C-alpha cells in the first residue's frame, strides 16, 4: 500500500513538472497566439487608468500634495503614459482608415506585469502580430533592453527625443570605431541592427510621429491631478489637497486694523492720497505720448545731420561742374580755377561738419526749450532745433572752410 501511494506521488510530481516546463517554453501572449480583443476603443483617460494606474487614498495621506506626488512618480508614469498615448493614437487612426490592426496594452488584458507592454493584434482573427516594449527616458534604457533576454524578439517604442538621441549616439560610436580602426561594440552593433530592421520604431504604424516627452509629461500631470482629486474626495477632503482649505477653515479671523490716534490732520497725513481712475488714465496717456515724442525727437535729430551732409555734398558737386564749364569756355584763368575748386572743397567739408555738429547741438537745445510746453513740445523743439542747427552749422562751416581754403591757395 505504501509503495502504491509513493508511486502515485512520484507520478504526480513528474506530471506537474512537465506542465510547468511547457508553460515556460510557451509563454502567454506570444506572437501567433489568439487573444480576446476589446470590442470598443478605450478613451485616453480610461487607458491611462489601466496603464499608469490611479492614485490611492493612502498616497494622498502620505504625500500631502499632488505636486510632491507627481515629482516622485513622473519618470515611472511617463513610460506608462507612452503606452496609453501611442495605443490611443494608433487605434483611432486605424479605425478611421478602416484597418483591422489594433494596439492593446497588456494591462487592459489583465496582465500588467507581462514582459510586453503592448500587443499588436489583428482584430479580424484575434491573432497577435508582434509584441512591443515601451521605454521613455534615456537612450541607455533602450540599449540595455536590446541585450536583455526577457525582451528577445520584441519591438521597442520610445519618445521622439530618445529616438533622436539614439541616432546621434550611434553615429558618434560608428565614427569613433572607424577613426580608431576597431570594431563597433556589441551593444551598439545590436542597436544599429535594430534601427536598420525597424525594431526600434521611428514612427507609429499609422504614420503618426512619436510622442514627445513634453506632451507625455503634460498628460501624466493632468492624469495625476484628476486621480488625486478623486482620491481626495474619497477621503472626504476638498479637491485642493495642499491643505490650504483646511487651514482657512481652522484659522482665526483676521484682526481688525487698529485705529490711528491723533488729530484729523495727523490721520490725513498717514493716509495715502487716492487718485481717481480718470486721472490715472490721463497720466498713462500723457506718459505714452511723452515716450513717443521723445523717440520722434531723437529720430529727427539723427536725420538732420546726415541730410545736411548730403546737401553739402550735392551742392559741392554742382559747383565743381560749373567751375569746369566756365574754365573750358575761357572765362577764368587756371589760377582762378584752382581757387574756386579749393573754396568749393572747403565749403563742402566745413559745411558737412558744421551741419552734423549743429544738428546735434540744435536738437538738444530745442528739446530743452520745448520741454517747458510738455512732451509734445519736447519733440517739436528737438526736431526744429536739429534742423535749424544743421542749417546754421552748414552756413558757418561753409564760410570758415571757404576762407581757410582761399588763404591756402593764395
Q: If you write DSSP's letter for every residue of 297-356 in order, what string do you get?
A: HHHHHHHHHHHHHHHHHHHHHHHHHHHHHHHHTTSS-HHHHHHHHHHHHHHHHHHHHHHH
Q: What is the pLDDT of residue 330?
A: 76
- From first to last of its 410 residues, what are the pLDDT tens digits of the chain? 445 445 555 555 454 454 344 333 334 688 888 888 887 888 999 999 999 988 988 888 889 888 999 988 888 899 999 999 999 999 999 999 999 999 999 999 888 889 999 999 998 898 999 999 999 988 999 999 999 999 999 999 999 999 999 999 999 999 999 999 999 999 999 999 999 999 999 999 999 999 999 999 999 999 999 999 888 888 774 444 445 444 344 444 434 445 545 554 444 444 444 444 444 554 455 456 556 655 655 655 555 555 554 555 556 667 777 878 778 777 788 777 777 777 777 666 665 555 555 555 555 455 545 544 444 454 455 555 555 555 555 555 556 555 655 555 55
Residues in CB range of 137: below 8 A, 6 or more apart: 75, 78, 79, 162
Q: What is the pLDDT of residue 96?
A: 92
* Pair 232, 117: CB distance under 8 Å: no
Nearest to 378 by CA among 362, 364, 367, 365: 367
CA Rg value for the chain: 43
101-105: strand order across its sheet:
101-105, 118-122, 127-134, 155-157
129 burial via Cβ count (<10 Å: 0-12, 13-18, 19+): middle
Separation of alpha carbons 221 and 68, rounded Å: 11
Residues in CB range of 160: below 8 A, 6 or more apart: 209, 210, 211, 212, 213
Grid-cell match 530745442, residue found: 366
* Pair 29, 114: CB distance under 8 Å: yes
Fill in the DSSP letter of residue 114.
Answer: S
Q: What is the pLDDT of residue 283?
A: 47
Q: What is the CA angle 223-225-230, rounded to 5?
A: 95
Please provide the distance, in angstroms rounded to a whole number, between the alpha carbons at the two ends of the chain.
Answer: 150
Cα atoms found within 13 Å of the Cα of residue 95, Cβ hemisphere only? 12
Does the pTM exceed 0.85?
Answer: no
Q: What is the pLDDT of residue 21?
A: 41
Separation of alpha carbons 409 and 153, rounded Å: 98
Amino acid at each position: 500500500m505504501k509503495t502504491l501511494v509513493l508511486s502515485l506521488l512520484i507520478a504526480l510530481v513528474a506530471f506537474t513538472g512537465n506542465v510547468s516546463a511547457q508553460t515556460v517554453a510557451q509563454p502567454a501572449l506570444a506572437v501567433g497566439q489568439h487573444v480576446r480583443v476589446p470590442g470598443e476603443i478605450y478613451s485616453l483617460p480610461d487607458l491611462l487608468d489601466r496603464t499608469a494606474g490611479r492614485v490611492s487614498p493612502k498616497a494622498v495621506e502620505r504625500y500631502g500634495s499632488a505636486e510632491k506626488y507627481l515629482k516622485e512618480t513622473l519618470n515611472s508614469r511617463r513610460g506608462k503614459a507612452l503606452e496609453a498615448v501611442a495605443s490611443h493614437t494608433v487605434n483611432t487612426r486605424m479605425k478611421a482608415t478602416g484597418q483591422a490592426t489594433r494596439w492593446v496594452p497588456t494591462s487592459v488584458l489583465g496582465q500588467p506585469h507581462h514582459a510586453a507592454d503592448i500587443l499588436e493584434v489583428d482584430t479580424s482573427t484575434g491573432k497577435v502580430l508582434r509584441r512591443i516594449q515601451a521605454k521613455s527616458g534615456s537612450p541607455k534604457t533602450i540599449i540595455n533592453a536590446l541585450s536583455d533576454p526577457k525582451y528577445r524578439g520584441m519591438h521597442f517604442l520610445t519618445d521622439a527625443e530618445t529616438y533622436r538621441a539614439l541616432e546621434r549616439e550611434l553615429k558618434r560610436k560608428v565614427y569613433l570605431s572607424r577613426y580608431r580602426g576597431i570594431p563597433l561594440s556589441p551593444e551598439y552593433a545590436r542597436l544599429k541592427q535594430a534601427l536598420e530592421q525597424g525594431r526600434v520604431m521611428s514612427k507609429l504604424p499609422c504614420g503618426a510621429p512619436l510622442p514627445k516627452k513634453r506632451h507625455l509629461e503634460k498628460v501624466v500631470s493632468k492624469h495625476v491631478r484628476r486621480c488625486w482629486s478623486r482620491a481626495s474626495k474619497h477621503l472626504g477632503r476638498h479637491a485642493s489637497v495642499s491643505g490650504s482649505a483646511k487651514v482657512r477653515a481652522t484659522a482665526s479671523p483676521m484682526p481688525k486694523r487698529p485705529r490711528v490716534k491723533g488729530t484729523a490732520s495727523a490721520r490725513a497725513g498717514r493716509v495715502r492720497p487716492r487718485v481717481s481712475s480718470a486721472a490715472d488714465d490721463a497720466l498713462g496717456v500723457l506718459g505714452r505720448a511723452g515716450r513717443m515724442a521723445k523717440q520722434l525727437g531723437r529720430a529727427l535729430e539723427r536725420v538732420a545731420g546726415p541730410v545736411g551732409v548730403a546737401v553739402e555734398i550735392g551742392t559741392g558737386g554742382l559747383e565743381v561742374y560749373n567751375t569746369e564749364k566756365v574754365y573750358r569756355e575761357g572765362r577764368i584763368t587756371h589760377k582762378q580755377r584752382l581757387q574756386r575748386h579749393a573754396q568749393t572743397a572747403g565749403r563742402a567739408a566745413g559745411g558737412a561738419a558744421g551741419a552734423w555738429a549743429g544738428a546735434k547741438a540744435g536738437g538738444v537745445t530745442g528739446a530743452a526749450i520745448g520741454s517747458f510746453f510738455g512732451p509734445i513740445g519736447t519733440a517739436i523743439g528737438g526736431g526744429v532745433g536739429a534742423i535749424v542747427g544743421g542749417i546754421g552749422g552748414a552756413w558757418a562751416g561753409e564760410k570758415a572752410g571757404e576762407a581757410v581754403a582761399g588763404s591756402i591757395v593764395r
